[in-house]
Structure 1
Amino acid sequence: MNFALFSEHASCVELCLFPSRDSTQESATIALVKSANHVWHIYLEGVNPGCLYGYRVHGPYDPENGHRFNPNKILVDPYAKGLVRTHGLVDRHFAYRFGSSREDLEMDPRDNAGIAPLSVVVDTSFPWGDDLRPDTPLNQTLIYETHVKGLTARHPEVPEEL
């Protein structure tokens, strides 16, 4: 599994693995490698669907110049296909001390690992069996969402008792 994150101004990016959704701290922390174009990445063998993870991103805490790096905060993968522990927004998720008289200029030193939303590795494969995968390009695909009862209520071939 390849983990990657873009950050031009980060000084370090860590992948944090969690053993369960109830974990209050990561069980492993792995430093990502900075490559060309400010992409931090690492490839890990043996990562299975259901793996829970987040990132700690180190860098300058300088809000006046647009930088709010805070390694005390677990961040979700912006490309994650699944999330757990989405309890809503609480003050410990903010990089800054919420309610401070200095507003966002004061970094919050509290760790949020125990309550932070976590990204989930999702198996995106589909067991097609003997069926063929549709070969329709996405730009020609139509996705139609409907309520089955409303769509079929007056259809002559649907039995009345249904």
Structure 2
Amino acid sequence: MTCQGTVATFGTVICRMRARVLRYGYRVHGPWQPAEGHRFNPAKLLIDPCARQIYGEFKDNPLLHAGHNEPDYRDNAAIAPKCVVVVDHYDWEDDAPPRTPWGSTIIYEAHVKGLTYLHPEIPVEIRGTYKALGHPVMINYLKQLGITALELLPVAQFASEPRLQRMGLSNYWGYNPVAMFALHPAYACSPETALDEFRDAIKALHKAGIEVILDIVLNHSAETGPRRPVILAAWDRQP
């Protein structure tokens, strides 16, 4: 990969890729001043806050911590989750949201997995996935309910709390985001095609006259305290 960028481009870097799959991360340099909200540590590989796809899991591993009282300078690139460059070509055709008037809107809130996993008429291999949302059986079910909009609980990639991981459990609801612009891969038939699976489902729902509303968590991340893996806080955590 070759990249070009100048100060005048305000941080924009244009790259030419030769590999079919490119994974990357950032090393961020700056002061170590926890009292001021700064925990910069270039030994820790960080994800791109705007990444569209993530490779790897956010585990409760001390190597993913930036440090506590002092910085932890052990390099974690071998185990840290990586961002994946996404080639974003998709044919939306003539797709458009139905735009049902608010006075006529009936919202049905649902969880991707919870809504589709146990439906007996959904093919077993796609139950609990984005693809199941757009299956004709599911769309017919939603239409029979009389709803006009499907509100999905968080679909952005999230991590389970360290406490749950230590107990052998996982977070179900998705309110611990780690990558706001990447889809949660566990809801995809294949992590590599998650984006297209999701867009196919949205397009099918729109064609059926059903709007889609996303529950997006922007007020916090999966970083639950100072003794946790760093995800976004190592970029800048000013009070």
Give TM class, smaller chain.
0.5 to 0.7
Find the counterpart in structure 2 of residue 117 from structure 1: 81
Is 1:62 matched with 2:33? yes
Find the counterpart in structure 2 of residue 42 from structure 1: 13
Q: Greater helix share, 1 or 2?
A: 2
Rg bigger for which structure? Answer: 1
Is 1:95 matched with 2:66? yes
Instruction: Measure how far apart 1:49 and its partner are.
Output: 5.6
CA pair 31-44 structure 1, distance change in 2 beyond 3 A: closer
CA pair 134-78 structure 1, distance change in 2 beyond 3 A: same
Query: Structure 2 length normalisation: TM-score?
Result: 0.38
SS in 2 for 1:77: coil
How many residues get paired?
Answer: 112
Contact 1:49 1:121 in 2 (8 A): no
Query: 2-side partners of 1:82 and 1:62: how far apart?
Result: 31
Show structure 1 runs of 4+ deviating over 6 A. 141-145
Contact 2:51 2:84 in 1 (8 A): yes
Is 1:105 matched with 2:66? no
For the aligned residue pairs, the C-alpha RMSD in angstroms reads 3.7
Find the counterpart in structure 1 of residue 50 from structure 2: 79
Percent identical pairs in the alignment equals 32
Q: Deviations over 1:84-130 (max 9, x none)?
A: 1215131111110xxxxxxx2211010001000000011221256xx
Is 1:134 matched with 2:105? no
Instruction: Measure how far apart 1:46 and its partner are.
Output: 2.8
CA pair 58-86 structure 1, distance change in 2 beyond 3 A: same
Query: 1-side partners of 2:84 and 2:5: how far apart?
Result: 18
CA pair 62-115 structure 1, distance change in 2 beyond 3 A: same
Query: 2-side partners of 1:32 and 1:68: how far apart?
Result: 26
Find the counterpart in structure 2 of residue 158 from structure 1: none
Contact 1:82 1:121 in 2 (8 A): yes
Q: Deviations over 1:50-82 (max 9, x none)?
A: 210000000111111111000001000111111
Query: 2-side partners of 1:59 and 1:31: how far apart?
Result: 23
Q: Deviations over 1:112-158 (max 9, x none)?
A: 01000000011221256xxx331449xx49999654637558xxxxx
CA pair 71-120 structure 1, distance change in 2 beyond 3 A: same
